[in-house]
Chain A
C-alpha cells in the first residue's frame, strides 16, 4: 500500500507530467480530428480505403501517440512513457483486429466470444497491468513478496500469481485442445458424438487435475501438507462436502459408463431433454418445450431410474390415438392412417408407421397409429404436424386425435 502511495511520487516529476500531458493531448486531438469536417476532403481523398479516411478510434489514438514521440524528442523531453502507452494501445488494437478478422471468420460466434472474453482479453488486461506495475516498480521484487506459510512452505506473491494464472488458463483454455483431440478421435476411431463429448470432458478433468498437482508442487507443498489436506477432506466428506463429492464421483462414473453423456436425450418429468453438459457437480439439460435449462445433480442419475431415447439408438416411437365414426371401413382407415404418417416429414420410412384397431364401439372405432422419428426432441412438432395432416385427410369426417 505504501509502495502504491509512493508511486504518486512520479507525479512530482516534470518529465512524467509533460508526457502525461502529451498523451492526453494526442488522444483528444486524435478524437477531434478523426471526425472533424475541416480536416476533410484534401486530407481524405476518396481513393483511399475507408479505414484510412476515417480510422477506428484506437488506430487514430495510437497514430497520434506515435506522432507525439518525435515531437517530444525534438523538444528535448523524454518520451518512453508515451511510447509505452502507444505500444499498449497498439496491442489492444491488434486484439480487436484478431477478433474481427480471424476469430469471427474461423469460429462460431459463441465460441469466438467465449475465447475472447474469457481468455484473450483477460490475458491482455493482465499483461497490461503487469507492464504498468513493472514500469513503476520491480516486478521480480514484487513477485518475491512473502505471502505467508502454507503447510510449512513459504509462499510468495509470484508463485501464488503463477498458480492462479495457470489454473485459470487450464480451466478456461483446456477446452480447445480437448476439442481437437476429441475431433481426431471421433474421426480416427469412429466415436459417436456422445462419446466424443465425454472424452473431451475427461481430458479437461485430467488437464485440470494435473494443473492442480503442479500448482501444489509449485507452491512447495510437502507431502505432510498433502496428507493433511487429504485428512481434512476425508473428515469433510463425512459432513459438509459429502454431496459435492458424491456428485463429482457420480459425474465421472456416468461418463465412463456412457449412460448420461452430452448429447443424450432423457425423459425428465415426462419431457424429453437433451444433456448439454456434464459438470463437476451437476448436469445441464435442455428442455425443448420451453427452452429451459435444467440443472440436475449428477447423483440423481446415479440413484434413480432414468429413461433415455439414445441408449442403443436415437429413434423415438410416437403413438397417436385416433377415434372415428364407423362410417368408414376400418381397413380403409388403417390404410389411410399409415399413408398419411409415412408421407409426413420427419417420420421414418423404416421402421414403417403402423396403424391398428384398438377398440370397436357402437358408433365409433378407436385406432392406434405408431410411427418412428429420428430426432427424439422433435416429437412434439412432428406429432402436431401429423395430427394436422390427418385432420385434413379425413375431413369432413370427424376425427378425434390424442
Chain B
C-alpha cells in the first residue's frame, strides 16, 4: 500500500514537473477557467464556446509554441464565494474567473482572487469609467473585457415597435400585450430615472448612516411617485411582476410575455428560442428623463493558486481580449457584449442589435445610478432582499406607495 502510494505520488510529481517544463508527450499546460453567469442566469456550453473559441484560436495562432488546455467550469454566482474558499484552500482554485466587476471587487476584498498589475498602455486603452470600476489600491481587481447593458426585449410578432416611454408601455398593456416586470432591485431600478426617483435614492444610498437625512419632502415625494407608478402598473391585468428574473426570460421565450427588460447576457438564449421574433431596444424613458438601466461590466479575474507559468498564460489570454480587433470580433460574434477598449468602437453599422446595445449603454452612462454611484450599489446589494420583499408587498397592494416609501427610506438608511 505504502509502496503503491509512493509510486503514485512519485509519478504524479514527475508528471507535474514534466508538465511544468512542457516535456509531456502532449506538451500542454492547463488553465482552469470558472465562468460565472450574472444573477440567476444560466450558461450553456454553446455560450462558452461562442465566447472563448475565437479567443483561443487567436491565442494559438499568436503563441504557436504554447499548447494550452482549457477546462471551463460554470458556477452559479450564489455559491461562488463558498466554492472558491474551499477550492483555494486545497490549491485547486481556478486560474481565471469571468465575473462581474462588483463580484471581482468583493472576491478580492475576501482574498479569494489576486490583484494584478497592468501596463500603463493597457490601462490607457480602457474607458476611464470602466477602469474606475475595477481599480483598487495597488492595482486592478480584475481585467475588464466587455459590457453587457440592460435593455428591453420583446416579441416582434406581438409588438411591432417597442415602447419609447413608460406611458406607451402601459398603453401596450391596456391593449392586451403582456408585460413582465421584476421586483428584484437591480432589474427594476431602470424605472427610477424616468420617474425622477434616482436622485433621492442615490443620496440615500451614498450618505453614511450617521449623517443627517439627505433628502427633503420633495425627494420623498419623488420616491412615492415612483412606487405609485409601480403599484398602478401592477393593477393592470396584463402587467405581471416576478420575483425571479429567470421567470421573465422563460415567459418571454415561451410566448407568455410580450415585453420585458433583460440583460444583454441573456440575448443568445432568447435568440435561440425566439429566432427572428426577438426584438431588442433601449428601455422606455419617462417624464423625468431617460431610463436608468443596469450594465454589467464583465471582467476576467485571476486566481490565487496558479503556478507562475499558468499565471503568465492567463494574463496573456486576458490581455489579448483587450486587443481592439478581438474586442470588435467579440461584439460582432456575440451580439451581446460591447467593447471596453476605447480604441475599438462598437460596429453599430453592422447590426441593429449592436446599435440597441450602444443606446442602452449610453442610457446607462447618462442616467443610471449604477454608473454614477457604483459604490452606492454595494449598499443596494446588501439590502436587496429587503427591498424585494417591500416591492412585492407594494405590487400585491398589501401596502400603499406612501407607506412603502417610508419603509424604503428606512431600509436604505439603516441597511
Q: Does A36 contact B (CB under 8 A)?
A: no
Given contacts A80-B86, A137-B73, A141-B74, contact A9 B91 (CB under 8 A): no
A63-95 vs B, Cβ < 8 Å mask (1 yes, 0 no): 000000000000000111101100000000000
Using a CB-CB cutoff of 8 Å, which residues 115-148 of chain A contact chain B?
135-138, 140-141
Using a CB-CB cutoff of 8 Å, which residues 65-111 of chain B contact chain A?
69-71, 73-76, 86-92
Shortest CB–CB separation between residue B3 and chain A, in angstroms? 10
For the complex, count residues of A whose C-beta is within 8 A of B. Answer: 36
11 CB < 8 A contacts A-B: A5-B28, A6-B32, A10-B32, A11-B15, A12-B20, A13-B305, A20-B9, A21-B9, A83-B89, A135-B92, A141-B73
Residue of B nearest to A32 (CB): B2
| Docked CA distance A240–B310 (Å) | 58
Q: A9-B31, A9-B310 are in contact. List 14 more A-B contacts (CB 8 A).
A: A3-B71, A10-B91, A11-B16, A12-B20, A12-B309, A13-B91, A18-B91, A27-B5, A28-B2, A28-B6, A78-B90, A80-B88, A81-B90, A141-B73
| Docked CA distance A138–B88 (Å) | 14
Count of inter-chain pairs, beta carbons less than 8 A: 108
Residues of B within 8 A of A23 (CB): 9
* Residues of A participating in the B interface, judged by any CB pair closer than 8 Å: 2-3, 5-21, 23-24, 27-28, 31, 78-81, 83-84, 135-138, 140-141
Q: Does B12 contact A (CB under 8 A)?
A: yes
Shortest CB–CB separation between residue B324 and chain A, in angstroms? 30
Shortest CB–CB separation between residue A158 and chain B, in angstroms? 14
User: Does the CB pair B305–A137 fall under 8 Å?
Assistant: no
State the main secondary structure of chain A at its contact with B. Answer: helix
Residues of B within 8 A of A13 (CB): 16, 91, 305-307, 310
Q: Does B274 contact A (CB under 8 A)?
A: no
Residues of B within 8 A of A31 (CB): 2
User: Does the CB pair B75–A12 fall under 8 Å?
Assistant: no
Given contacts A9-B69, A138-B75, contact A24 B9 (CB under 8 A): yes
Which 6 interchain pairs have the tightest Cβ spacing?
A: A9-B30, A15-B91, A80-B89, A11-B16, A80-B90, A6-B71
* Residues of B participating in the A interface, judged by any CB pair closer than 8 Å: 2, 5-6, 9, 12-13, 15-16, 19-20, 26, 28-32, 69-71, 73-76, 86-92, 305-307, 309-310
Residue of A nearest to B14 (CB): A11
Shortest CB–CB separation between residue A89 and chain B, in angstroms? 12
| Docked CA distance A80–B92 (Å) | 9
| Docked CA distance A9–B24 (Å) | 12
Shortest CB–CB separation between residue A172 and chain B, in angstroms? 28
User: Does the CB pair B12–A6 fall under 8 Å?
Assistant: no
From B2, B6, B75, residue with most partner A Cβ within 10 Å: B2
Select which of A6, A8, A15 is within 8 A of B15 by beta carbon: A8
Residues of A within 8 A of B86 (CB): 80
User: Does the CB pair A19–B12 fall under 8 Å?
Assistant: no
Given contacts A6-B69, A138-B73, contact A12 B16 (CB under 8 A): yes
User: Does the CB pair A9–B305 fall under 8 Å?
Assistant: no
Given contacts A12-B307, A20-B13, contact A84 B71 (CB under 8 A): no
